[in-house]
């Protein structure tokens, strides 16, 4: 599933500096469910973002290895995302590419939202955008139809993530993109009787086709989502302090500095297709940054 943004080249200098700026803003908030940026630097051919190491991998990887989550486990991860989105929206940032691959597990077992390459800052309640952005399976209907959309697109994407965690499949699927978009526009996600009424209700409220009626779309935003009965057992203040027991904690007992270095060396770096010109290098002047 490839993320894309229609009206700009994702890796253009302006978008790179925009992502850096958003990451700096997110890092300054010191929020437990948002990734932190430590530094940025560059070599002759590459740009580097140094961020918090998250050894648990992403939710996609976790689901592939563990299968569908029980509701209590899905509730835990969903609560992490809700609090992360609450902080982003409080800081006038809309993520626009919330998906399993952009939700990673830290050393303690908590989720962090990562990858702000398609995010937009300065986006307040009531603001609208028409940029077609995101990953197809997670796109809200209003993005597909190129209508002016609000921060409610993030709550739609959360609905997709929750559905996949519990059902182990996407709520809308098809053979090609055209069929997928038609399904997103018109189909109701299939739910089983095995799901609690609260889980079914939350999924349907988040996957509401009309963004004005979607849970979280009001000015109350995340507070509206947090008040849903699916989260009845969640103490939000306690959760924000990370005092809840995570359902899974990654095993880092064999992880040392040397193993991390060997992993990085094994991956290596892709050489550029062609040498970067001095003129292009100048476009990235001022990219280097350190949080300390």
By DSSP bridging, strand 37-42 and strand 47-51 are antiparallel
Q: Annotated catalytic residue: which of 58, 97, 106, 154?
A: 97
Token pair belonging to 91: 């800081």
The burial class, CB within 10 Å (0-12 / 13-18 / 19+), for 88 is: buried
Radius of gyration of the chain (CA): 19
Active site residue 288: no
Gap between the Cα atoms of 10 and 228, Å rounded: 36
**Cβ pair 208, 189 in contact under 8 A:** no
Q: What are phi and psi of 129, to 5 degrees?
A: -140, 155
Q: List residues bridging with 184 in a β-sheet.
A: none
What is the set of active-site residues? 97
């Amino acid at each position: 599933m490839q993320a894309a943004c229609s009206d700009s080249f994702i890796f253009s200098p302006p978008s790179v500096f925009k992502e850096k700026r958003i990451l700096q803003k997110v890092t300054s908030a010191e929020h437990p469910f948002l990734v932190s940026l430590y530094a940025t630097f560059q070599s002759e051919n590459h740009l580097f973002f140094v961020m918090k190491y998250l050894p648990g991998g992403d939710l996609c990887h976790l689901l592939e290895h563990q299968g569908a989550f029980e509701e209590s486990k899905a509730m835990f991860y969903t609560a992490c995302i809700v609090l992360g989105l609450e902080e982003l929206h409080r800081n006038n940032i809309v993520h626009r590419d919330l998906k399993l691959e952009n939700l990673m597990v830290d050393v303690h077992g908590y989720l962090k939202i990562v990858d702000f390459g398609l995010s937009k800052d300065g986006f307040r309640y009531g603001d609208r955008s028409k940029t077609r952005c995101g990953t197809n399976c997670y796109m809200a209907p209003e993005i597909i139809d190129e209508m002016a959309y609000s921060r409610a697109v993030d709550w739609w994407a959360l609905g997709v993530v929750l559905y996949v965690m519990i059902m182990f499949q996407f709520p809308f699927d098809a053979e090609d993109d055209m069929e997928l978009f038609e399904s997103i526009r018109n189909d109701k996600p299939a739910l089983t009787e095995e799901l609690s009424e609260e889980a079914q209700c939350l999924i349907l409220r988040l996957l509401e086709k009309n963004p004005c009626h979607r849970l979280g779309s009001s000015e109350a935003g995340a507070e509206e989502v947090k008040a849903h009965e699916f989260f009845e057992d969640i103490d939000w203040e306690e959760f924000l302090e990370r005092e809840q027991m995570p359902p899974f904690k990654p095993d880092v007992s064999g992880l040392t500095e040397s193993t991390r270095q060997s992993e990085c060396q094994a991956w290596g770096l892709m050489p550029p297709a062609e040498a970067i010109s001095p003129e292009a290098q100048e476009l990235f002047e001022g990219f280097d940054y350190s949080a300390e």
